[in-house]
Structure 1
């Protein structure tokens, strides 16, 4: 008997497989195709000859834990304790899984805001919890009245994603204040804030939960070195949580992976001495602006992109097809792979919007845009 009877192959796998079959340009799955910083690869090459190949402590490589504490202090002016409030994870997704498994029990309700990253619901189901999926407004702002109505004595957790995947939306100060107001009325609800794109924001920085004293003692925050340093294949992220929550998360982590790849932890620990996270946003903003310029003469309508490395576009002026069929035809007939937004909704809501990843080298973006502008 399946524990996830309604879960099928992810849309990312489907579209990437089709892209390979039809030799299409893959702008679907969110991974960069440009080289990693040479300084980081040099560090890895040197470390390969050193004694960093055995288990690290369960919570993480101590020097890296200290570096993360310093990074959070510098970025958000928050002091955290490396030994008790940080956990290195095998990607942010494992951190999310461990957090939900540790804190959500049978019959607990977890509010998820749609469109949503596709790992949230399966994690809740595997914990015995009940996913309560509440749609964002059509402009991808939260409907706080609907969210508040969804809260009750059985609500154990609310999951937010900021900056938001797949839409690139950033929560405003009004949004954060309304969230605080709701959680003040429901003091037992835990907040899980997925902030993996925290350093990929543009005209305005996102408002991290790290900066909200009213929420920090009941919030789990996930982050991703894979996203920040375009090393997605390393699968390395981290979780920050107050000690009383982290104790429970570590219990699951201990028996899930125990500890994370040692050489990657040592490499990132050294790399943080050389890299500035402040350089990440300008780099990706240049990518976003260039991709938007390339598509300016197409029939696609570009939606606002405030963060992440994804550009959502409307194809209403091109076709009346549903977004899944349109994306398949886009691959087969035009050689470009995208992701249909309806697959991020529980009810498959289709606004004829699709998502492109612009974390690609300029030559890839130029050829993709040439094909898209010809439609």
Structure 2
């Protein structure tokens, strides 16, 4: 029998205690795993219990990361019955035609290991979709690698192409797996901060950050958490810097079909950039099937080699029947993507109008299904304190953004809401905010 001893507040699903403090950004208390062993006492034949304490162990490269903010906020939401506008997963299901394709694949016996870099039909479908979206013709056999979600595509790209000591530049705020995976690779992380209200890329700052040791720039467009779309001018300048300094681009484009007001531009489509770009995408966001974890990386053969080497020893292969269904999804008619965008724009309007009516300063969201706001009108010390208050007293969940910066102070005034929920849920959350949130 095993149990945990701690004075912390509560235990999460990964056996981490989460003491959220209203006076600081998230801190994590150390705790002890206690093993209870039963032994026989030879003096009186009474069974007694001895307790041995074992500190939890983790490699130094991962010590700082602990439990994700998404786990923390989702657990608090469940505890307090709050409406979860924090973690970015839909509360509605994906399209029937994709689910039926998965069921049919299972019935057809497509249930054994897939080919390591992808089921041929899916690789072909990815190539078809990429050509339609970007105009680029890629070889499905040599330039596409199917992965277990975009998170694994990111990991395989970083672990396969980054050496210890290489510099990689991120735009903060950034998706939390970027920094953690770069740490696993032994990379040196540099951060360029995107600042409200428009989160424009500070070009001169980026230019000065590039050194002889810079190996890659990581781009997320549309950008989570801000909803920013990198403009053609920004991307052209980044491309010129990369070409001039022989720097790679790792482009996370999982929200490419959720580009609302500005054209989505894939960096690989810019002149001279395909040869130095890994483009990563997935099924989950576009088809509301985040639990399937089907992703892919597109890159020229000389970069694909490294991606596949890492992928082979991370997951080797990805779910076979779900790959078959993903091929069907990517061949959906254009009307599906038009309707998807229209539906999300309606959801965005409900949330943005509600947040503005309550008194938040709301920053533009031109893509993704996230909105970032300034919470300071409500008088809380920082984003973590505000999000705790919001959950416990108002009954709505948001995500504090300070965890998405190398310097948490840069994000302490901002929180992120998601609108990937049905309209009823969004309206209910807005009503709670209007009723209970106090300035």
Q: Shorter-chain TM-score: which interval?
A: over 0.9
Are positions 1:182 and 2:241 aligned together? yes
| Structure 2 equivalent of residue 299 of structure 1 | 359
- Give the alignment partner of residue 212 of structure 1, picking from 246, 266, 270: 270
Could you tell me how far 1:313 is from its partner in structure 2? 1.6
In 1, Cα distance between equivalents of 2:398 and 2:224: 14
Give structure 2 stretches of 5+ with no counterpart. Answer: 1-58
Are positions 1:266 and 2:324 aligned together? yes
| Structure 2 equivalent of residue 317 of structure 1 | 377
| Count of aligned pairs | 374
In 1, Cα distance between equivalents of 2:262 and 2:219: 18
Are positions 1:74 and 2:132 aligned together? yes
In 1, Cα distance between equivalents of 2:376 and 2:184: 37
Q: Pick which of 74-83 and 42-51 moved more.
A: 42-51
Per the normalisation by structure 1, the TM-score is 0.96
- Give the alignment partner of residue 131 of structure 1, picking from 161, 181, 189: 189
Could you tell me how far 1:180 is from its partner in structure 2? 1.7
| Structure 2 equivalent of residue 87 of structure 1 | 145
Are positions 1:352 and 2:410 aligned together? no
In 2, Cα distance between equivalents of 1:347 and 1:371: 32
| Structure 2 equivalent of residue 336 of structure 1 | 396
* 3-state SS, counterpart of residue 317 of structure 1: helix
| Structure 2 equivalent of residue 326 of structure 1 | 386
The superposition leaves residues 46-75 of structure 1 with CA deviations (integer Å, 9 ceiling, x where unpaired) of 222111101111110101110111111111
Please say which structure displays the higher CA radius of gyration.
2
Are positions 1:361 and 2:422 aligned together? yes
| Structure 1 equivalent of residue 433 of structure 2 | 372
In 1, Cα distance between equivalents of 2:172 and 2:354: 29
In 2, Cα distance between equivalents of 1:39 and 1:256: 30
Give structure 1 stretches of 5+ with no counterpart. Answer: none
Could you tell me how far 1:45 is from its partner in structure 2? 2.5
Q: How does 1:136-285 map to 2 (within 5 A)?
A: 136-139=194-197, 140-187=199-246, 189-276=247-334, 277-285=337-345
* 3-state SS, counterpart of residue 297 of structure 1: helix
- Give the alignment partner of residue 106 of structure 2, picking from 48, 51, 54: 48
Counterpart contact for 1:27–1:338, Cα < 8 Å = yes
Counterpart contact for 1:199–1:278, Cα < 8 Å = no
The superposition leaves residues 232-254 of structure 1 with CA deviations (integer Å, 9 ceiling, x where unpaired) of 11111111001100011101111
Per the normalisation by structure 2, the TM-score is 0.83
Could you tell me how far 1:86 is from its partner in structure 2? 0.5
Could you tell me how far 1:228 is from its partner in structure 2? 1.0
The superposition leaves residues 343-364 of structure 1 with CA deviations (integer Å, 9 ceiling, x where unpaired) of 1111102352211110001111
Q: Pick which of 101-110 and 37-46 moved more.
A: 37-46
The superposition leaves residues 241-300 of structure 1 with CA deviations (integer Å, 9 ceiling, x where unpaired) of 011000111011111111100010011112333443343322211211222233342112
Q: Which runs of 4+ in 1 moved over 6 A?
A: none
| Structure 1 equivalent of residue 174 of structure 2 | 116
In 2, Cα distance between equivalents of 1:275 and 1:31: 24
In 1, Cα distance between equivalents of 2:196 and 2:209: 19
RMSD between aligned alpha carbons?
1.4
* 3-state SS, counterpart of residue 192 of structure 1: strand
